[in-house]
């Protein structure tokens, strides 16, 4: 009821203003065409005296344009609140033409008062053009007022309501990653900053292929952390895209390190550009649980479907068998043959030989009891299935080049050792990822256990295309490594991809423990989850009701998504939404951002053009100056086979010579 009274009062005010405007129009014609009114006896002495007194005080009638301007201003004020007649055919062009004709007739008709004709012709020509111009201006004003009230038509995607003030300060510290941005707010583009002041709370970079996540975010992480003296592990899915950036940036910023870091590469495709490293080096394993972790990582990388079947008999059995073999090689002959290639070759020996050898060691006897029970109980089919579950996937990894890389000791995996810091790049190949990911996953699991310790150098773990590799212990690393100054940056496409390859439970833990989020274009459930994380704000809403004789506008506020899923699903390349974490002494009031990350493309292009290739890590040139890579790698491959043959033969001889142990051997058929 109160609203109706307010509307009625507003209409009365508008009508009064328009009436005053018409009065000024009438007074203009009366004063400047007084001759005609006088000739026809239409003047009034009282009115004349009032107008003359008013003229002496205000000089309102000194010029015709003065009263016209008063009428025009009052007309404009009244048009804003006018109930507009419904006409869907009216366009901006119609408004412009009608307004221009009205201005011309209304303001530029004074010359008609001085035409060399009778007073009647002068009066009627002047008055009619004045009224016609006024009516044209009235029509244009009514139409324009209607358009001004329908402001939603100018913002169909609600950009104004969903834009917000963002961080404009650059908050830098010895660990931070700072990215310049530009964002839209209140009708203009402004400059800002995304400040990852605490990278140790982990960072997640999402985006569909081509959204710019590597170019804008991951590359910046690599460069800025090298500039600040971080040791670094980089998983380079498309080797050597990220490795080349890291190598060249390191060359330019060696002064950031107190101890010059070693640049190391693991690359199975080209042994020349690869260091050698044994991921299951015996000195790095202190307990049989270390062997189990290694076996677990290898088998789950080779069989991604096993990740969601953990605990099944035919999943755990091959893992336990491989773990027993790794630990056996660790304790045999001081760990001289404790390498992953030796473990593969040993597993491929007849089970009639490997089981007696393994169970002859007390520390492995209980580990292998399920296999021995099946063997002694005559469950050959079950036993064959258990062994095949390990043999078949591991046989895919039999490769001379892989054997070569994984049997050397060019460097250790404690990359954040203050005395020997390292920048380690491990390269995968999209065409061979099923094979290489298992071996690289083994390096990952060992690194996680070695770097998450007190008193180490600040380090950064950069993993692009995370779902292409199973990173054992990643959720625990994110949750616990903050105090040990380990920064984790994970790049992948969306949450569904992570859930598919890591399982629902582990994927949820990773999603919910990450403190800094960057997201380019993502769709589906991922965009909805992110929108919920960014929260809601109070937004202004307008609704318009158009009837045959009026347009009614109502305004209200409601709580709605700050960044709705549709916005996230349609982000332009280089545009990111997200949120950052802050510190006690570095508060960031506006943690959420929706901005374009500014990259100096010309500078990047110049830097890239000056890059030098990663040098060869290993030389395969013999004394005669000839390339002998194939011969050396093949010789290493057959040496491993020979080593295992000799181990098996030696161990069987030992068992046969011991009356107690000889009972483990199968009885010979007569």
In the 3-class helix/strand/coil scheme, how is 67-91 assigned residue by residue? Answer: HHHHHHHHHHHHHHCCCCCCCCCCC
Answer whether residue 21 is part of any domain.
Answer: yes
Q: Which tops the pLDDT comparison, 624 or 347?
A: 347
Q: Which tops the pLDDT comparison, 119 or 281?
A: 281
Q: What is the mean pLDDT of the chain?
A: 84
Q: How confident is the model at residue 543 (pLDDT cuts 50, 70, 90)?
A: low
Buried b (16+ CB within 10 A) or exposed e, 501-535: bbbeebbebbbebbbbbbbbbbeeebbbbbbebbe
How high is the pLDDT of residue 152?
45
> Taking a C-beta distance cutoff of 8 angstroms, is the pair 277, 413 a contact?
yes
Query: For the residues 593-610, what does the mean pLDDT come to?
Result: 94
| Residue 477: closest CA among 468, 467, 485 | 485
pLDDT digits (tens, 9 = 90+) for 374-428: 666 666 666 677 777 778 878 888 889 999 999 988 999 999 999 999 999 998 8
Q: How many CB atoms lie within 10 A of CB 573?
A: 14
Query: For the residues 282-289, what does the mean pLDDT come to?
Result: 86
Q: Can you tell me the distance from the alpha carbon of 667 to that of 670, in angstroms, rounded to the nearest whole number? A: 9
Q: Can you tell me the distance from the alpha carbon of 367 to that of 373, in angstroms, rounded to the nearest whole number? A: 12
pLDDT digits (tens, 9 = 90+) for 126-185: 888 888 888 888 888 877 766 655 544 456 677 777 888 999 999 999 999 999 999 999
Across 422-426, 500-504, 549-553, 656-660, the highest mean pLDDT is recorded for: 422-426
Query: Number of helices (H) and strands (E), helices first, in the chain?
Result: 25, 13
Query: For the residues 589-618, what does the mean pLDDT come to?
Result: 93
Query: For the residues 285-296, what does the mean pLDDT come to?
Result: 86
Q: Strand, coil or helix: what is 369?
A: helix
Answer whether residue 216 is part of any domain.
Answer: no
How high is the pLDDT of residue 380?
65
Residue 543 forms beta bridges with which residues? 554
Answer whether residue 644 is part of any domain.
Answer: no
> Taking a C-beta distance cutoff of 8 angstroms, is the pair 321, 368 a contact?
yes
pLDDT digits (tens, 9 = 90+) for 18-49: 888 888 888 888 888 877 777 777 788 887 78
The share of the chain scoring above pLDDT 70, in percent, equals: 89
Q: How confident is the model at residue 89 (pLDDT cuts 50, 70, 90)?
A: low
354, pLDDT greater than 70: yes
Element (H, E) at 290: helix 288-302
Q: Which tops the pLDDT comparison, 341 or 11?
A: 341
pLDDT digits (tens, 9 = 90+) for 301-315: 777 777 666 666 667
Query: For the residues 449-464, what does the mean pLDDT come to?
Result: 90
Answer whether residue 48 is part of any domain.
Answer: yes
How high is the pLDDT of residue 87?
54
Answer whether residue 135 is part of any domain.
Answer: yes
Q: How confident is the model at residue 51 (pLDDT cuts 50, 70, 90)?
A: confident
Question: 87 is written with which tokens?
Answer: 């006409």
Q: Strand, coil or helix: what is 10?
A: helix
The whole domain housing 114 covers 2-149
Q: Locate tokens 């395969």: which residue?
A: 620
Question: 550 is written with which tokens?
Answer: 């009026």
How high is the pLDDT of residue 670?
45
Maximum C-alpha span of the chain: 149
Answer whether residue 75 is part of any domain.
Answer: yes
Query: For the residues 605-628, what does the mean pLDDT come to?
Result: 86
Residues 6 or more apart whose CB falls under 8 angstroms from that of 619 comprise 272
221, pLDDT greater than 90: yes
Across 2-6, 85-89, 433-437, the highest mean pLDDT is recorded for: 433-437
Q: Strand, coil or helix: what is 550?
A: coil
DSSP 277: B
Answer whether residue 429 is part of any domain.
Answer: no
Cis peptide bond prior to 240, omega within 30° of 0: yes
DSSP 215: I
Q: How many CB atoms lie within 10 A of CB 137?
A: 24
200, pLDDT greater than 80: yes
Backbone φ and ψ for 503, nearest 5 degrees, come out as: 90, 155
Q: How confident is the model at residue 6 (pLDDT cuts 50, 70, 90)?
A: low
How high is the pLDDT of residue 112?
75
> Taking a C-beta distance cutoff of 8 angstroms, is the pair 207, 493 a contact?
yes
Q: How confident is the model at residue 343 (pLDDT cuts 50, 70, 90)?
A: very high
Answer whether residue 239 is part of any domain.
Answer: no
Please tell me the total count of domains within the chain.
1
Q: Can you tell me the distance from the alpha carbon of 167 to that of 176, in angstroms, rounded to the nearest whole number? A: 15
Distances (CA, A) of 87 to 176, 234, 544, 641, 645: 58, 64, 14, 89, 94
201, pLDDT greater than 80: yes
Q: Can you tell me the distance from the alpha carbon of 498 to that of 315, in angstroms, rounded to the nearest whole number? A: 21
């Amino acid at each position: 009821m109160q609203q109706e009274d307010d509307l009625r009062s507003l209409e009365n005010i508008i009508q009064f203003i328009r009436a005053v405007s018409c009065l000024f129009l009438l007074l203009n014609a009366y004063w400047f065409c007084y001759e005609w009114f006088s000739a026809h006896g239409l003047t009034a002495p009282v009115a004349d005296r009032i107008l003359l007194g008013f003229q002496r005080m205000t000089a309102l009638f000194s010029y015709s344009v003065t009263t016209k301007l008063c009428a025009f201003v009052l007309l404009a004020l009244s048009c804003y609140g006018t109930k507009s007649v419904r006409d869907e055919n009216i366009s901006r062009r119609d408004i412009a033409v009608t307004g221009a004709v009205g201005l011309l007739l209304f303001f530029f008709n004074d010359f008609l008062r001085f035409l060399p004709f009778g007073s009647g012709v002068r009066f009627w020509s002047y008055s009619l053009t004045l009224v016609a111009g006024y009516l044209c201006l009235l029509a244009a004003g009514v139409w324009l007022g209607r358009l001004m009230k329908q402001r939603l038509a100018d913002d169909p995607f609600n950009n104004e309501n969903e834009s917000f003030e963002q961080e404009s300060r650059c908050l830098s510290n010895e660990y931070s990653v700072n990215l310049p941005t530009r964002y839209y707010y209140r009708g203009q583009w402004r400059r800002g900053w995304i400040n990852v002041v605490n990278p140790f709370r982990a960072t997640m970079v999402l985006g569909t292929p081509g959204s710019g996540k590597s170019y804008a975010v991951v590359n910046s992480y690599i460069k800025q952390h090298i500039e600040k003296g971080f040791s670094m592990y980089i998983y380079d899915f498309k080797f050597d895209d990220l490795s080349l950036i890291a190598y060249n940036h390191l060359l330019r910023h060696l002064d950031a390190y107190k101890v010059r870091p070693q640049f190391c590469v693991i690359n199975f495709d080209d042994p020349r550009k690869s260091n050698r490293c044994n991921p299951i080096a015996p000195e790095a394993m202190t307990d049989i649980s270390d062997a189990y972790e290694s076996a677990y990582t290898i088998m789950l990388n080779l069989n991604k479907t096993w990740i969601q079947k953990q605990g099944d008999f035919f999943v755990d059995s091959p893992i336990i068998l491989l773990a027993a073999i790794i630990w056996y090689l660790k304790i045999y002959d001081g760990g001289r043959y404790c390498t992953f290639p030796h473990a593969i070759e040993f597993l491929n020996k007849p089970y009639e030989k490997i089981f007696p050898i393994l169970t002859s060691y007390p520390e492995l006897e209980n580990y292998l009891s399920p296999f021995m029970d099946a063997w002694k109980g005559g469950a050959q089919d079950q036993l064959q299935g258990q062994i095949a579950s390990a043999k078949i996937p591991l046989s895919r990894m039999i490769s001379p080049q892989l054997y070569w890389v994984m049997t050397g000791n060019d460097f250790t995996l404690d990359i954040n050792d203050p005395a020997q810091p390292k920048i380690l790049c491990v390269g995968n190949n999209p065409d061979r990822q099923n094979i290489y990911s298992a071996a690289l996953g083994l390096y990952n699991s060992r690194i996680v256990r070695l770097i998450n310790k007190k008193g180490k150098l600040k380090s950064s773990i950069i993993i692009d295309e995370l779902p292409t590799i199973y990173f054992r212990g990643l959720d625990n690393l994110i949750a616990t490594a903050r105090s040990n100054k380990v920064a984790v940056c994970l790049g992948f496409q969306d949450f569904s991809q992570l859930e598919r390859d890591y399982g629902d439970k582990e994927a949820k833990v990773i999603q919910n423990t990450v403190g800094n989020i960057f997201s380019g274009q993502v769709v589906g459930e991922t965009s909805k989850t992110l929108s919920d994380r960014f929260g809601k704000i109070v937004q202004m809403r307008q609704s318009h009701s158009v009837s045959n004789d009026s347009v009614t506008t109502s305004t209200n506020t409601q709580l709605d998504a700050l960044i709705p899923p549709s916005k996230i699903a349609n982000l332009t390349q280089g545009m990111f939404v997200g949120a950052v974490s802050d510190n006690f002494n570095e508060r960031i009031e506006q943690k959420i951002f929706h901005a374009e990350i500014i990259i100096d493309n010309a500078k990047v292009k110049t830097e890239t053009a000056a890059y030098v290739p990663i040098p060869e890590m290993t030389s395969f040139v013999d004394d005669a100056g000839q390339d002998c890579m194939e011969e050396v790698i093949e010789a290493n491959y057959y040496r491993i086979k020979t080593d295992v043959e000799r181990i098996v033969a030696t161990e069987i001889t030992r068992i046969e010579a011991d009356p107690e142990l000889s009972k483990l051997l199968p009885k010979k058929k007569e």
